[in-house]
């Protein structure tokens, strides 16, 4: 099967990373369709409610942090992608197998110029929630 290259558009539509990998024969339709990565980004109010409902902890500090305040100059896209790999590799490996992981991240880094605007936008003010808890 001849590999086709398609422009990638984040995780959306026919030109998503998963569909691009699918077209190149790395993963199957069934693997793509059955993959689900639910992500929930809690607001401070939601987090307070969740911690209170749990009842095991007291919130010592809660703060929205601006990650861009720590950077001087443009975002290092490769480092950001490697941080995401550290978080997601186990989940991706469990579902798709370890064979594709290195190639997947190599492709993402190769395409980083195309996705740099999306990654830069994800580092907007107040996008990281710092929570310091003390066991009751």
Which pLDDT value is given to residue 89?
Answer: 93
What is the tens place of the pLDDT at every residue in 71-114? 666 667 788 788 889 989 999 899 888 888 888 888 888 877 77
What is each CA distance from 101 to 72, 82, 89, 118, in whole angstroms?
31, 12, 7, 22
Contact in structure between 62 and 129 (CB atoms under 8 Å): yes
**Top-confidence residue, 84 or 17:** 84
The structure tokens listed for 67 are 């990650």
pTM: 0.58
Q: In the predicted model, is pLDDT for residue 117 greater than 80?
A: no
Q: Please count the other Cβ atoms lying within 10 Å of the Cβ belonging to residue 52.
A: 11
Query: Mean pLDDT over all residues of the chain?
Result: 76
Closest CA to 42 of 127, 133, 136: 127
What is the tens place of the pLDDT at every residue in 27-45? 777 887 788 887 777 889 9
Q: In the predicted model, is pLDDT for residue 22 greater than 80?
A: no
Q: What is the mean pLDDT of residues 7-28?
A: 56
The structure tokens listed for 113 are 């110029």
DSSP letters spanning 50-64: HHHHH-SEEEEEEEE
Which pLDDT value is given to residue 39?
Answer: 76
Residues in CB range of 7: below 8 A, 6 or more apart:
15, 114
């Amino acid at each position: 099967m001849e590999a086709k290259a398609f422009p990638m558009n984040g995780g959306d539509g026919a030109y998503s990373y998963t569909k691009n990998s699918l077209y190149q024969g790395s993963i199957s339709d069934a693997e793509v369709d059955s993959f689900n990565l639910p992500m929930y980004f809690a607001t401070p109010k939601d987090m307070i409610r969740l911690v209170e409902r749990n009842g095991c902890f007291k919130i010592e500090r809660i703060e929205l942090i601006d990650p861009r305040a720590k950077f001087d100059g443009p975002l290092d896209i490769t480092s950001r992608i490697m941080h995401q790999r550290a978080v997601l590799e186990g989940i991706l490996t469990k579902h798709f197998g370890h064979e594709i992981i290195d190639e997947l991240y190599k492709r993402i880094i190769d395409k980083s110029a195309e996705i740099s605007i999306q990654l830069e936008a994800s580092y907007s003010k107040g996008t990281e929630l710092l929570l310091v808890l003390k066991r009751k």
